[in-house]
A and B are shown apart, each in its own frame.
Chain A
Amino acid sequence: MTFRGDRDKDTVCAVSTPHGVGGISVIRVSGPQTFSIVSKICTFLPAHPESHRVYFGNLVSTNGDGIDEVLVTYFKQGKSFTGEEVIEISCHGSPLICQTILGQLVQLGARPADRGEFTYRAFMNGKLDLVQAESVLSLIESQSQQAAKLALRQLKGQLSSKLEEIEDDMTWILAHAEASIDFSTEGITVVEDDVVQSRLRKIEAGLKELVATFKVGRLLKDGFRIVLTGLPNVGKSSLLNTFLEDERAIVTDIPGTTRDVIHGDTSFQGVKFTFVDTAGLRDEATDLVERIGIQKSYEAQNESDVVFFVFDIEKGLVAEEIQILDSLDPQKTFILANKIDRLGGSEPTSKLTETVEKALKNSKFFQKIQDPQAFFTRRVFFVSALDKKIRSEVLKELVKEFADLQVENTVLVSNARHFENLSRALENTQRSQALVDQGMGAEFLALELKESLIAIHETLGKRFDDQIMDRVFKEFCIGK
């Protein structure tokens, strides 16, 4: 009988370096049969290789055909990334060689690894905590330098150690709260309220700080999603091409050319930006396809981090555009006054600026803005799709405003699951403080603390919860 549990006893193999031609490729083999399998094709290995030592030799097929000159690194069970016996074969970076070696390994009894399976094994063998396992995943998937740095910081356990600090404080208070209940007849004061309060304040501050980093953390991890919106034919697609530095959208003079949502990724200052061009929003769109496109535009706006509202400066802000603006959230809106080149220059005249300001001032959109002066200086750009410089000008401002990158060494929360848990723990902590103030029984304080500890433990994977594990390991293709 074979079942899932047995599958974990397999020896698995996979190419651990990116696909395609490179200088070298690394094939990782992990599992109890690793050495016995690999030694059949790497006959140069000694019978008892040393852990963390590199061996050089010819990798030869079971038929005796030479395949490649390779470097083999051996990791003893318990001392490897996965916690199992691991061998890494560095071969020359050709897909053909990699495939041949993998074929040999499979023929000898290894199985191709599932996506994320090495990490999964590392977690199962206690080599990584849950946060670290998740960061490995993020690291593999990170699409920008910043995201990779963030994932690496989490892998090093920075978030975990910060959480463990908070956990320590919570446990300390909980222990004292419990003692004050169960040993109340001993005639001793276990702990004074103000000591508890000061610890709670420390926990609150720590959690608040972490929770506040989520927005930036998520933006660094997933990148910014920017939607270009505006009336048809104001030049959104041309701007998109400028931002993406390529010709992705079809640009014509015919209004309504863009009917579907067009995506494109670019990277700037190590941060990923996903641009989404949408169908222009116009009331008289009669064509069904175009109307569906407009519907999608609204959806895209809601899902975005930032909206670039584009209008034609030559025509000025028309009533319809004010209507669209009124539906937008000023917090995430930038205004791009496009086609400045048509007015014969790259800088707007003060008259033009005034006209735009005046048109805006009557809008509901404007009334929602907290600091209008700052909005005009930071959020309104006069641009031309022909001017390549606008890309960096606008994106620089955007990064400055949303993801102040002075975060190099701070711990960031970038995972939605962690964010939810920590927000819950923060609420519990704040309620705890109120309870102590009101002089409510220590048993209620204990409940709040236990709930917040559960949230921390869930984050760290110190508490088993089938639903949470399912959610995390869905990405590891486990249990399918």
Chain B
Amino acid sequence: MANKKFDVIVVGAGHAGIEACLAAARLGVQTLMITTNTDRIGYMSCNPSIGGLAKGHMVRELDVLGGQMGVAADETTIQYKRLNSSKGPAVRGTRVQNDKHLYSQFQKDALYNQPNLQVLQGEVKRLILENDLCVGVVLQDGSEIFAKATIITTGTFMNGVMHIGLRQEAGGRVGDQASIGLSDQLAQFGFEVKRLKTGTPARLHKDSIDWSKTIPQGGDEKIYPFSYRSSTQLKLPQILCYLTRTTELTHDIIRGNLDKSPMFTGIIEGVGPRYCPSIEDKVTRFAERISHQTFLEPEGLNTDLIYLQGISTSLPEETQDQFLKTIPGLENVKVVRYGYAVEYDYIEPTQIWHRLETRTIRQLFLAGQINGTSGYEEAAGQGLIAGINAAHSILGREEFILGRDEAYMGVLIDDLVTKGTREPYRMFTSRAEHRLVLREDNTIDRLADIAARIGIVSQESLDILGSLRERRQALHEKMRSTKIYPTKDIQALLATIPSAEMTKSLSFEELLRRPEISSSHLEMLNFTVDPDPNVTEPVEIEVKYSGYIKRQMDLIQQSKRLEELVLPEGLSYADIRGLSNEEKDKLQRVKPRTLGQAQRISGVNPSAIQAIMIHLKGHKKLKEISVDGQQRTAGADDILARG
């Protein structure tokens, strides 16, 4: 390789690595991606789908902030679904099935066509450190590459071990070698490195399945693509998924073979995700349930592989064969690849700052599963933030942090760096305390200005964003100012909905607040809405739920007071009276930026926050006195005497 000097090196080509590279390169810094296997760029190691509850939100946020995942998912969608569509607007989530090969190909093309970005196949063995500054990496062949910032996105590959039954082999994914050395170096440097576990189900051959015993599941007709740049007409043909269920016999077989499970025999020490349990876990923990649902999901348009959603397992091959055949439709199933579990190293994420730079090694950034998260979307979100911050550190710009009231991505990172994690962290809508204002439909309103400010998106994209927002505002304004009068005709039309008679004239905004009225009814009442659902739906939601949205905004304002109270750097918690030793330890470790963040550290009680506040108020008073020109050292009693 000719050039041995870059601005940013990204280690890894998964969902985090792709976003990190593209963000850095799009901000104009020279970027190098290093991956052990260029054939597996943007590979979906587990389920062939993007999005889901709270995850769909993050894909949209990424998209507005110049990320790549949304477009790639839209381009390769083979089934579209909006989850929770019957529930309120804030908790609806988009999920799509993807052709995983086309997805990977699309991402590869994006990387190869991106200016300022090069891709290199190789394995990074260690970091080059100058004291506490990371200045580059050493490859397996001993060659050195230097960079001003390094981002590690190695996923499940750091000291990865795969388990099938009681057999183990090194590796982060079937067919790919583990990455050895990096985490040992970090551990030697003093990082707390721990183990997590994840798993994946078997892949089945589609011709061996008796589809007549399963229930076909179609996608939605109405499409709200992830990206504001995508068309509402999907490119690829849409496929069906199929529903079937485990049986009591399935559970009996699994229970009878737990002695062959690496999870239950204690071979795996890493903690697995509570929220995405293996079938062994499900059967044991929910023993009263006689059946669990599973979806058979095609991995693409031109593949024979079927992904068995919800049945991840690390039982031996013969046990998998045995229990799978007890599931209706799978009586004669042929397994192409068996399920397995992966154990890997992660860095306890309280050791990184919000900007995803580590606290102890400067210019070293971590993103994705290495920080203890699970999921493509969580990884991608961190990749983008790390990429932007790595570039910013080189360009001399200030750090880029999203607030908990701005984006799920803000919630994700704040949770990680504040609370740490002991199990693979997955995003949920319930993690966002300001959920009602963090909706999919208002992503553009939340983040477009931020995207413009950091200059990561093209002028063309900014124009689309601007136009969408203008059309939304215009429609809302028209609803406010246009009146509907209680004529006989109108009353008759209302009766057909049915909606109560009007007693006086109303604006269309007021009419739309009636629970039974939706924007489609407005058309019937001669009020034209925008045909683009990306325009009309957000306005409708703002109107209908304005009362609740306002209350949520009030709560945000309340919490802002504490968020704005920035804690001085180097605040010595050991000196603060009223803190327990445990609280002192935790505060000293997390070093919260604000009093609001301090309050979110688990195990730090409200009384501790009070103590910090009183401590700080004392400082402030002292400063005020010296500002007055009183040079003598003021004692506490003097301060108190002044009232």
Q: How far is the CA of A480 from the CA of B621 in the complex (A)?
A: 10
**In the complex, what residue of chain A is closest to B426 when comparing beta carbons?**
A182
Partner of B548, one of A124, A444, A480: A444
Min Cβ gap A148→B in Å is 26
A464-B599 in contact (CB<8A): yes
Cβ of A315 < 8 Å from any Cβ of B?
no
Interface flags for B616-641 (1: CB within 8 Å of A; 0: not) read 01110110000000000111100110
Judge whether B576 and A464 touch: CB under 8 Å.
no
- Indicate whether A19 reaches chain B with its CB closer than 8 angstroms: no
* B640 engages A7 (CB within 8 Å): yes
Query: Is A184 a contact of B84 with CB atoms below 8 Å?
Result: yes
Q: Which residues of A contact B599 (CB under 8 A)?
A: 464
Question: Once the chains are docked, how many angstroms separate the CA of A377 from the CA of B52?
Answer: 70
Name the one of B52, B87, B605, B634 contacting A443, with C-beta atoms under 8 angstroms.
B87
In-complex Cβ contact of A463 among B606, B611, B617 (8 A)? B606
Chain B nearest CB from A3 CB (Å) reads: 4
In the complex, which residues of chain B have a beta carbon less than 8 angstroms from the beta carbon of A20? none
Q: CB of A450 within 8 A of chain B?
A: yes
| Residue numbers in B under 8 Å from A440 (CB-CB) | 88
A462 at the interface (CB under 8 A from B): yes
Could you tell me how many residues of chain A have their Cβ less than 8 Å away from some Cβ of chain B? 40
Within 8 A of B (CB), among A453-480: 461-466, 469, 478-480
Interface assignment of B607: CB less than 8 Å from any CB of chain A: yes
Given A4-B621, A466-B562: A181 and B577 interface contact (C-beta under 8 Å): no
CA of A120 to CA of B639, assembled, Å: 19
Query: Residues of B contacting A447 with CB < 8 Å?
Result: 436, 548, 551-552
A466 touches B613 (CB 8 A): yes
What 0/1 pattern do residues 161 to 190 of A give for CB contact below 8 A with B? Answer: 000000000000000001001101111000
Segment 578-630 of B: residues with Cβ below 8 Å from A:
578, 580, 599, 605-607, 609-611, 613-615, 617-619, 621-622
The answer to whether B53 and A443 have CB atoms under 8 Å apart is: no
The segment out of B6-14, B22-30, B173-181, B427-435 that lies at the interface is B427-435
Complex Cα distance, B431 from A446, in Å, reads: 12
Q: Does A1 have its Cβ within 8 Å of any Cβ on chain B?
A: yes
Residues of B contacting A8 in the complex (Cβ-Cβ under 8 angstroms): 577-578, 611, 614
A interface footprint on B508-542 (CB within 8 Å = 1, 0 otherwise): 00000001000000000000000000000000000
- When the two chains form the complex, which single residue of B293, B558, B576, B614 contacts A479, counting CB atoms closer than 8 Å? B614
Contact B577 A5 (CB under 8 A): yes
Cβ contact within 8 Å between A124 and B428 = no
A57 to B577, CA, bound (A): 34
Residue in B293, B558, B607 whose beta carbon sits within 8 Å of that of A187 in the complex: B293
Tell me the complex Cα distance, A478–B576, Å: 16
Question: Does B468 count as interface, using CB distance less than 8 angstroms?
Answer: no
Q: Is A4 within 8 A of B436, CB to CB?
A: no
B610 lies within 8 A of A4 (CB): no
> Chain A contacts of B552 at CB under 8 A?
447
How many angstroms between the C-alpha atoms of A176 and B561 in the bound complex? 30
Say which residue of B91, B433, B605, B622 sits within 8 Å of A3 (CB atoms).
B622
Contact A2–B634 (Cβ < 8 Å): yes
B128 at the interface (CB under 8 A from A): no
Contact between B429 and A182, CB atoms less than 8 A apart: yes
Taking the nearest CB of chain B, how far is it from the CB of A429, in angstroms? 15
B643 at the interface (CB under 8 A from A): yes
Is A442 located at the chain interface by the 8 A CB criterion? Answer: yes
Binary contact readout A1-44 vs B (1 if CB under 8 angstroms, 0 otherwise) = 11111111100000000000000000000000000000000000
Q: Does B54 contact A (CB under 8 A)?
A: yes
Complex contact A9–B88 (CB within 8 A): no
Q: Which of A181, A184, A462, A480 contacts B606 (CB 8 A)?
A: A462
Contact B635 A442 (CB under 8 A): no
Task: Tell me the complex Cα distance, A100–B54, Å.
Answer: 68
From A4, A9, A181, A441, give the contact of B639 (CB < 8 A).
A4
* A451 within 8 Å of B (CB atoms): yes
* A464 in contact with B609 (CB, 8 Å): yes
Contact A443 B618 (CB under 8 A): no
Q: Say yes or no for A243: interface residue by CB 8 A criterion.
A: no
- Please measure, in the bound complex, the distance between the C-alpha atom of A1 and the C-alpha atom of B429, giving whole angstroms: 47
Determine whether A125 belongs to the interface, using a CB cutoff of 8 Å to chain B: yes
Whether a CB of chain A sits under 8 angstroms from the CB of B139 is no
Question: With A4-B639, A461-B606 given, is the CB distance from A441 to B622 under 8 Å?
Answer: no
Interface string of B86-97 (1 = CB under 8 A from A): 011111000000
The answer to whether A443 and B619 touch (CB under 8 A), given A4-B614, A5-B575, A8-B577, is no
Given contacts A1-B633, A2-B636, A443-B436, A124 and B578 within 8 Å (CB-CB): yes
The answer to the question of A123 belonging to the interface, with a C-beta cut-off of 8 Å to chain B, is: yes
**Given A181-B53, A182-B429, A441:B617 Cβ within 8 A:** no
Q: How far is the CA of A290 from the CA of B621 in the complex (A)?
A: 47
CB distance from A110 to the nearest CB of B (A): 14
| A189 to B: closest C-beta gap in Å | 12
Q: Which residue of B lies closest to A438 (CB)?
A: B515
Nearest A residue (CB) for B598: A464
| Set of chain A residues within 8 Å of B635, measured between Cβ atoms | 2
CB of B555 closer than 8 Å to a CB of A: yes
Nearest CB of chain B from residue A63's CB, rounded to whole Å: 26
Report whether B636 and A7 are in contact in the complex, using a CB–CB cutoff of 8 Å: yes
Q: Assess the B53–A4 pair: CB atoms within 8 A.
A: no
Which residues of chain A from 370 to 393 have a CB within 8 Å of any chain B CB? none
Which residues in B have their C-beta under 8 angstroms from that of A184? Answer: 53, 83-84, 87
* Chain A residues with CB under 8 A of B84: 181, 184
Contact B640 A444 (CB under 8 A): no
Specify which of A438, A442, A469 is in contact with B610 (CB 8 Å cutoff): A469
Instruction: Given A3-B622, A464-B599, check contact A124 B577 (CB 8 Å).
Output: yes
- State whether A464 and B610 are in contact (beta carbons under 8 Å apart), knowing that A182-B430, A438-B515 are contacts in the complex: yes
**Set of chain B residues within 8 Å of A444, measured between Cβ atoms:** 88, 436, 548
> B615 contacts A123, CB within 8 Å?
no
With A3-B621, A7-B636 already in contact, the answer to whether A443 and B90 are too (CB < 8 A) is yes
Decide: A443 and B614 in contact? CB cutoff 8 A: no
**Cβ-closest chain A residue relative to B427:** A182
Interface centre among B52, B578, B580, B599 (most CB of A within 10 A): B578
A66 within 8 A of partner (CB): no
Contact A451 B605 (CB under 8 A): no
Write out, one digit per residue, whether chain B residues 70-85 have a CB within 8 A of any chain A CB (1) or not (0): 0000000000000110
Q: Chain B residue with minimal CB distance to A467? A: B561
Q: For the complex formed, measure the closest distance between the CB of B496 and the CB atoms of chain A, giving whole angstroms.
A: 22
- Does any Cβ of B come within 8 Å of A126's Cβ? yes
B615 A5 Cβ-Cβ under 8 A:
yes
Q: Is the CB of B613 within 8 A of A123?
A: no
The chain A residue with its CB closest to the CB of B618 is: A4
A480 touches B643 (CB 8 A): yes
Q: Are A124 and B610 in contact (CB under 8 A)?
A: yes
B607–A443 CB distance below 8 A: no
**Complex CA–CA separation, A442 to B548 (angstroms):** 13
Q: Which residues of B contact A9 (CB under 8 A)?
A: 577
The residue from A5, A187, A442 contacting B88, defined by CB atoms under 8 A apart: A442
Known: A3-B618, A182-B54. A443 touches B636 (CB 8 A): no
Measured between beta carbons, the chain B residues less than 8 angstroms from A443 are: 87-88, 90-91, 429, 435-436
Q: 10 closest Cβ contacts across the A-B interface?
A: A4-B618, A441-B88, A3-B618, A8-B577, A464-B606, A5-B615, A464-B609, A178-B430, A124-B578, A7-B636
Complex A-B: 30 CB contacts under 8 Å: A2-B622, A2-B634, A2-B636, A3-B639, A4-B615, A4-B619, A4-B636, A5-B611, A5-B614, A6-B618, A7-B618, A9-B577, A126-B607, A178-B429, A178-B430, A181-B429, A182-B54, A182-B430, A184-B84, A186-B293, A441-B87, A443-B87, A444-B88, A447-B552, A464-B610, A464-B613, A465-B558, A466-B562, A466-B613, A469-B613
Chain A residues within CB distance 8 Å of chain B = 1-9, 123-126, 178, 181-182, 184-187, 438, 440-444, 446-447, 450-451, 461-466, 469, 478-480
* 12 more A-B residue pairs beyond the given contacts A2-B635, A479-B617, with a C-beta to C-beta distance below 8 A: A2-B622, A7-B636, A9-B577, A181-B84, A182-B428, A184-B53, A185-B53, A441-B88, A441-B91, A451-B555, A464-B606, A466-B562
